[in-house]
Structure 1
Amino acid sequence: MELKTTSPSASLSLPNNRKGASWSGCAFIVALLLYATLSGPFPAQPGMQEGLIAVLLIGFVSLPLGMLVMCGGFSIYEKFQTVPVWLHISFFLLFWLGLYNGGVINGWGMTDIVRDAIPCLYLFLPILLLPVMRKSNLDWLRILPWVLAAVGVILSIRFFMTIHASPLDVGKMHFFDNFLYLPYDPSVVFASIFLPIMAIHTWRSRPLHWGLSLLMVVGGLVALSSLMAVAQRAPIALTFLCYVVYCIAISRKSFAKLLLLVLVWAGILYFAQDQISGSYGLLAEKQQEFGSNGKLDELHSVLRETSHSGFAMLFGMGWGGLFSDPAVKGVRVSYTHSAVTFFLLKAGIVGLSLFLLYIAWVVYRALRFFRSGHLPLMLSLTVPLIIGLLFQVSYKTLTFGIILTMFCLFAESRRQAYGQNQSTTWGREYA
């Protein structure tokens, strides 16, 4: 007797034809562009635009797959072979125990609970996206970086439109965008690194390549200018460190590209010396005035909140938990300025351990399949990851989940390349 088996993707009605996969992929890209043009990293009052973005994302993932992930179909999901089963279980426990702890045990407000639960979904976005991206006929490792860079540039342009200024005004004063926090989105620092480096990485001595490289440099500088306008110290420092690392790497392979890189930055330093010197002065002033921005005091406050009982120490306050944050002058808030302290506060030692294991798996998976051609993308992804883990609230954004997904796509791209018997040199594909 012959046994017939069906794949999990077939039973979950994932797009299994090229046309359907392409349309769902377009919906995903449109969702990210709508996020950049109509929404933002931290919407104060989510409205119709956020609802439309959610519908497009659900359409890409598919409702059956989303229900499978959320409801704990571990044995079925394992057949996709995208993430290990322990990671799916970890997400399931973190999400639902956090809801139970915050909503039932501690009775936090519904609005605050939602503001924590949705970012938890963002942080584990690879679990939802990888099965669909693998089924798609699109090369997401080639497409998604450019889409995310476009998101960063659009947010930067919106920032300058909001403050009624231009990148030429950078360095004159600290700018503020009325609590939109557009430059704090991970896509902005990603674009500030990815676009200038790719302008050199994909350059060829042809008129078309000159034009495209110039466009990338301009886009990257717009994103970098928005970071400088709000004096983001860690992102700016790490961005310039990435430029240095790439300069060292390219010097060993192509003298022509090294020379081009030196000429580009010499020109920028010459024409933007007022903006650069002014921004450096503002950064030094901010460092002298604020230091670590109260992050050590914030850590001590988190430890006090979670040490009053054994249960709180192990499992935290749950989603929606509020605490007096010394980093924002003692105001009771539901966030901290790093993902590490956030999970320690909301999910305790157990939740923090599961989250760090997840991050370690993502990074190890990316490094395992890393090749020299991946260097521009790896540098561009590493900085927003570090910023979200240690320095800012950017871990609560949709694009932070996209960053983590792209780390995972290194392995997916390698798998597809082996299956199709083709080269995996990422830089060559872009050229």
Structure 2
Amino acid sequence: MERLLAIDDRLGSRYASVNQFHKGLTLLAALMIYGLLSSPFPDSPGLIEGMVAGLLVLFVTIPVGFVVMIGDFPIYRKYNLFPVWIHVGFFALLWIGLFNGIVVQGWQASDLIRDVIPFIYLFMPLLLVPVMVRTRLNWKVILPWALSLVGIIFAVRFFIVIGIAPWEIGTRSYFDNFLYLPYDPSVVFAAVFLPIMAIQHFKVTRLNSWLAGLLMLVGGMLCLASLMAIAQRAPIGLAVGCYFVYGLCHSLKKFIALALILVFVFFAAQSQISGSFQLLADKQEEVGANGKLDELRTVFHETSDSVESLFFGTGWGGLFNDPIYGDEPVSYTHSVITFFLLKAGLTGLFLFFSYFFWVVRRALRNVSFKVLPGLLAAIVPIAVGFAFQPSYKTLTYGIVLAYLCMLHKRQEREDGNVGT
């Protein structure tokens, strides 16, 4: 395996310019196909999802994927990117969960796959970051714009599906025929990132700055409108909070510019905004926590039946009767916390928490105004999937986590890379 990695690394060095471009292109192509033709939670993965998976494999490469999946800890450690305990934790969660789900519990293969894929998405940085560092492309710049473009695509598709224009929101909540397009993390990412970037790079004396700023504002507001159309309380509240945090952290001039834009948007779309916030208030009064506390209690009940299930969960593929859906058996929960508690028990929850907070802590180191828009935009979908929605099951949730990891990385070859 080490020889395969060395060959892969030497080929990357020999054909550096072509290889870097092609590797970057495969990941970006996977994201574009995902945004244009797939959905956040495909009911029956088919050809499109297979194409996305194939492009991701081309980007990661088979040798790197094998090193991560089979737990070749000494070789992976040479990348000098993650502590070995994170790789060990991933390996243990993957294979112990599979053993528990297949051998001990005997869950169906389709349910196993539905759990393992989002689990791998959650640990996507282990697969992506080694390749991103080796390509020497500036992924800290590329990823937020790529995610924002995917978010805009999902928002446009949403309005096409429901058959209304963005300025028609505010009268009722809409439904996109089980596609759940605005639920993708890229949508709220774009809703935060684009308006803030419009402010950050605005130059009064430059016409191209006006045009670029207008395009970014339109894209961001389009994504925010799609969230308002389905009355998503947590993403909207966190997004608005990020606008104010950015304004408070930046200069007085930027804060005034942001405030003026928000005032202009409010008066330009007063009826839509007031109608949407009334829908949010009505939803809060009607459903409150929307059954998530009942779901948490049910998960605790499921995992407390025995010592084994308490510490190791039901395994990948495990089902439980979710009170949110009238006690119908389902394989997922509405937060990553209850997901790991159900599937991997207290052990899995502890391992994931340790990994998750390591990623967040590293991203928050040496924060600057240059990366603040991307950091704020990433925190919102991460928080939403962590506690409020099953968006942790999506491809872009893993991409956002990889972006957080790249915020702390210099775009250069690490001295400890394999094959050097």
Q: Same fold (TM over 0.5)?
A: yes
Structure-2 residue corresponding to 1:25: 24
How much has 1:416 moved relative to structure 2? 4.1
CA distances 1:90-113 after superposition (whole Å, capped 9, x unpaired): 001111111111111101111110
CA distances 1:324-355 after superposition (whole Å, capped 9, x unpaired): 11122211110000000100000000000000
Matched, 1:48 2:47: yes
Structure-2 residue corresponding to 1:77: 76
Structure-1 residue corresponding to 2:299: 302
Q: Which SS does the other structure have where 1:324 is aligned?
A: strand
Give me the whole-angstrom Cα distance separating, in 1, the residues matched to 2:187 and 2:319.
Answer: 28
Q: Which SS does the other structure have where 2:408 is aligned?
A: helix
Which blocks of at least 5 consecutive residues in structure 2 are unaligned? Answer: 416-420
CA distances 1:26-62 after superposition (whole Å, capped 9, x unpaired): 1110110110000011001111111111111100000
Q: Which SS does the other structure have where 2:371 is aligned?
A: helix
CA distances 1:142-162 after superposition (whole Å, capped 9, x unpaired): 111000000001001001111
How much has 1:7 moved relative to structure 2? 9.1
Give me the whole-angstrom Cα distance separating, in 2, the residues matched to 1:371 and 1:258.
Answer: 17
Give me the whole-angstrom Cα distance separating, in 2, the residues matched to 1:366 and 1:8.
Answer: 31
Query: What pairs with 1:57-136 in structure 2 (closer than 5 Å)?
Result: 57-136=56-135
Give me the whole-angstrom Cα distance separating, in 1, the residues matched to 2:119 and 2:177.
Answer: 26
How much has 1:254 moved relative to structure 2? 4.8
The amino acid that maps onto 2:188 is V
Structure-2 residue corresponding to 1:328: 325
Query: What pairs with 1:253-292 in structure 2 (closer than 5 Å)?
Result: 253-255=251-253, 257-292=254-289
Give me the whole-angstrom Cα distance separating, in 1, the residues matched to 2:93 and 2:409.
Answer: 26
Relative to structure 1, the CA distance from residue 417 to residue 53 in structure 2 (aligned partners, 3 Å threshold; closer, same or farther) is closer
How much has 1:137 moved relative to structure 2? 2.6
Structure-1 residue corresponding to 2:235: 235
Q: Which SS does the other structure have where 1:332 is aligned?
A: strand
How much has 1:184 moved relative to structure 2? 0.5
Give me the whole-angstrom Cα distance separating, in 2, the residues matched to 1:107 and 1:417.
Answer: 45
Structure-2 residue corresponding to 1:317: 314
Structure-2 residue corresponding to 1:10: 6
CA distances 1:338-384 after superposition (whole Å, capped 9, x unpaired): 00010000000000000000001101111123223221111111111
How much has 1:8 moved relative to structure 2? 8.3
Structure-2 residue corresponding to 1:426: none
How much has 1:166 moved relative to structure 2? 1.4
Structure-1 residue corresponding to 2:220: 220
Matched, 1:167 2:166: yes
Query: What pairs with 1:369-380 in structure 2 (closer than 5 Å)?
Result: 369-380=366-377
Q: Which SS does the other structure have where 2:409 is aligned?
A: helix
The amino acid that maps onto 1:91 is F
Matched, 1:354 2:351: yes
Give me the whole-angstrom Cα distance separating, in 1, the residues matched to 2:26 and 2:388.
Answer: 32
Match of 1:412 among 386, 409, 413: 409
On the 8 A contact 1:22/1:137 being kept in 2, the answer is no
Q: Which SS does the other structure have where 2:352 is aligned?
A: helix
Matched, 1:245 2:245: yes
Give me the whole-angstrom Cα distance separating, in 1, the residues matched to 2:214 and 2:167.
Answer: 18
How much has 1:12 moved relative to structure 2? 4.2
On the 8 A contact 1:101/1:318 being kept in 2, the answer is yes
Structure-1 residue corresponding to 2:418: none
Structure-2 residue corresponding to 1:389: 386
Relative to structure 1, the CA distance from residue 138 to residue 7 in structure 2 (aligned partners, 3 Å threshold; closer, same or farther) is farther
Q: TM-score, normalised by structure 1?
A: 0.92
* CA RMSD across the alignment: 1.6
Structure-2 residue corresponding to 1:194: 193
Which blocks of at least 5 consecutive residues in structure 1 are unaligned? Answer: 1-5, 420-431
Structure-2 residue corresponding to 1:183: 182
Give me the whole-angstrom Cα distance separating, in 1, the residues matched to 2:369 and 2:167.
Answer: 35
CA distances 1:223-269 after superposition (whole Å, capped 9, x unpaired): 0000000000011111111111112122xx251x3333222212111
Give me the whole-angstrom Cα distance separating, in 1, the residues matched to 2:78 and 2:172.
Answer: 55
On the 8 A contact 2:4/2:63 being kept in 1, the answer is no
Give me the whole-angstrom Cα distance separating, in 2, the residues matched to 1:351 and 1:18.
Answer: 41
Give me the whole-angstrom Cα distance separating, in 2, the residues matched to 1:243 and 1:105.
Answer: 49
Q: Identity of counterpart residues, as a percentage? A: 50
Q: TM-score, normalised by structure 2?
A: 0.95
The amino acid that maps onto 2:389 is Q
CA distances 1:284-306 after superposition (whole Å, capped 9, x unpaired): 11011100011111110000000
How much has 1:418 moved relative to structure 2? 11
The amino acid that maps onto 2:314 is M
On the 8 A contact 1:112/1:334 being kept in 2, the answer is yes
